[in-house]
Structure 1
Amino acid sequence: MGFARTCSVALVGVEGVVVEVQADLEPGVAAFTLVGLPDKSLSESRDRVRAAVVNSGAEWPQKKLTVGLSPASVPKGGSGFDLAVACAVLGAAQRIDPRTLTDVVMIGELGLDGRVRPVRGILPAVLAAADAGYEQVVVPECAAAEASLVPGMSVLGIRSLRQLIAVLADEPVPQEEPGEAGRPDPLLTGLRMPGTGEATFLHSVGAAQDDHGHDLADVVGQHAARTALQVAAAGGHHLFLEGPPGAGTQ
């Protein structure tokens, strides 16, 4: 038998809920069961994760595999759980020491080739992890700058599952070519990570923003509306403002 757990974040509207991702391996006919109220896109992670693990040079366990997402009552969707599911499985299979996974939050989609792809809602997800007391998060490299805006959070930006396995197993980190830029937060246009070619924990990121001549800081008052705009932009959500111009208070 083998067991490992790590964490990810489920977004319910604009609120994040930390989800414990548990993997259990038992003797029996090889099967992969995912439980915990996943939606269709999350259920498909079984195929993405299996292909990504194999194409990253790791062995897929030929046992009865159950992955549970807790709390089970919270609806979970999207591909952002891929990274956490893959690492939990590798921890249960002893490819990674399970103890290195317990206090880390992982957010990212996996391609079939093992590359880590960006997902929406990185900032609110990392904020939720910080509020829950976590201090380390793993995200796609192109989203590391956005995640590093959360105070006190150590961010590991990676390009591939191979890199993450090497970091967690204390092995030499393989070089990877830069991947797609993804969809940056509209409020962070111009923010880019340096191409180090190597995964490293980042405690602070210095970057400059493009000057478009307009800034929400120039708006007087309207604190609720400004906060709503920032949250909607960070999570890629729709926004509806009602009322005639000037109806707000200062």
Structure 2
Amino acid sequence: MKMEPIELKRILEKKLKAEDRSFNYDHKEKTLRIEHTGSGKGITLSLPGLTAKYEERKDAAIDEVVHHVNEVFSVMQKEQSLDGNQKGIFPVIRSTSFPTENNGEELVFEEHTAETRIFYAQDLGNSYRLLTKKLLEKEGWDMKQLKEIGRFNLRSLDTSMKEDQVAGNRFFFLNSNDGYDASRILNQQLLEEMNEKVEGTMAIAVPHQDVLIIADIRNDQGYDILGQMSMHFFSNGRVPVTALPFLYDEGELEPIFILAKNKPTEAE
């Protein structure tokens, strides 16, 4: 029997109950807001998406959400400072529908493609915290400085990939689970190196934050396979980004729709 959002709400409230936390359920939107009673800061969970993941992964999906929420509340208690912590600053790729504010504070972000935006985060070991404009102003940083440091740190991350061949096409997967796999799409040096290896058409997908897929498309079937992969990963990722892959041409990324058994068309 399929789990309903209200049932998931009860399970999460029981597992996340604490003296300093309050819960607010929005029946219309089917979201559960969990707040720290002292600061009013917290996290809002969209339950329909979580119930879909529960159908596939059962208790593992719930355990993952509980761990994530607990990490968020742990981070809230820590003082945040950029100076002296430059090595922990990274860009993170998110969808254009991702909120640009957190607990009333505007997040630092820049435009990327029609499907994605670039946010910035401070790595805290087991989790990270998205940076706000207020914090940048407080510490006297500007976007140019933040971007340079973030890109430098990103280039230092491992770029090892696994390769798979399907129907005459090659697919490369980067999945280190460090929280910045999709962000490696911003590593221009990596993209150029892969572009040299590709014999057909180069396409890239970032369906969720923990995977980067680079495809060497050599026939029409390759587009179908990439489209199916992207949708599968997008549906199962903890932080979905976009199900639309991108064509890579002369340093530019162009989102594409992939129609079954057809070549892709450019997204409007």
- Give TM class, smaller chain: under 0.3
The structure where helix makes up a greater share of residues is 2
Larger RCO (alpha carbons 8 Å, 6+ apart): 1
Task: State the TM-score, normalizing by the size of structure 2.
Answer: 0.26
The structure where strand makes up a greater share of residues is 2
Task: State the TM-score, normalizing by the size of structure 1.
Answer: 0.27
